[in-house]
Structure 1
Amino acid sequence: HVAIEAVIQGGTGVLSFEEEMPQVYPEHLEAGTLNSHGIAGLSVAVDFVSTQGVCAVHSHDLELVKQFVAEVRQVPGIELYGSFPDNISELNGESSQKDHAPIVTLNLDGWTSSELARVLSVEYDISVRAGAHCAPRMHRALGTQDTGSVRFSFGFYTTEDEIHKATTALNELAKSVM
């Protein structure tokens, strides 16, 4: 029996809130989940970004974030995580593009992150990610290690109508627990 150590560690998968890799094999050697869909689509994605331009794609996505944050701030009981200026229109320019990914993470009072994600999926056909996001230290820093959070991700093909649909759904769900 020879002990084999992982070359890369992180994203412990089955132990999302733990920092150490599982001690059982093969999980001990698997940093995160193999992104087979991402691997298959990489060539097409590179071609797309090369054609559109990195800055144009990111600027488009950042506009969606601005719209989402402006609307979601009106929803009672929303806790936003991240650095968003009070005047969301200030979220532009070169420094913001370097500092912000097209991702918004939040929680909604009265809802667990997993239940909110389930209801958004089943009742509204909105896909989000709930849980620890393979970031236990971040959740400890935010005080969300017991609840996780809900992550909205925006991309080039996300529409403004979809942004409004998501914020409308969150508003309805916020009112349902008041």
Structure 2
Amino acid sequence: MSFDALAQRISVTESHQKDVKIRKTGMAILGTWAVGNMITGAIGRSQTTGQTAYFHEMNLIWNVVNLGIAGAGYYFTATGEMPENASALLDDQVSFQKTLLFNAGLDLAYIAGGFYLMERAKNTTRRPERLKGYGKSVILQGSFLFVFDIILHTVHSKQSTQISDFLSHVHLSPNQVGFTLGL
């Protein structure tokens, strides 16, 4: 026997398309940040001196990596296959969310590393302006990435909640499939 429970109906295709849109938008934002930092970093490096020049230099270097990540993330999201069912889609979404949370932890480490570089600059005579400039840049970049990863995780988790809620009403056993309707 089968029936449609309109309140619980979920489209894997539609959910996957929303997931792809969220990820592509995130990678476009990251890529835009990277290009902007690369341009201002190159200009700033060529027109300033001291710790400001090193700040711009690190922004340029850091965002070459960000642009590569954004490009690869966009490409693999755009060319990825649609999951076979809601469970596979949810697994993929949860994996992506775990990656974002792991990255947020790395971002905090970057920020701490930036503060370390700035503190180290106080106790050295060997290019302290470079350590200060690099430290400030790493703090800025880590802070942006932390906010970016947390926001992307929050937006993405709202998407996966719909699938999780639906799957919580499905019960499988070797002999039967059951659905619980919340009234």
TM range (shorter): under 0.3
Structure with the largest fraction of helix:
2
TM-score (norm 2): 0.22
Q: Which of the pair has more CA radius of gyration?
A: 2
TM-score (norm 1): 0.23
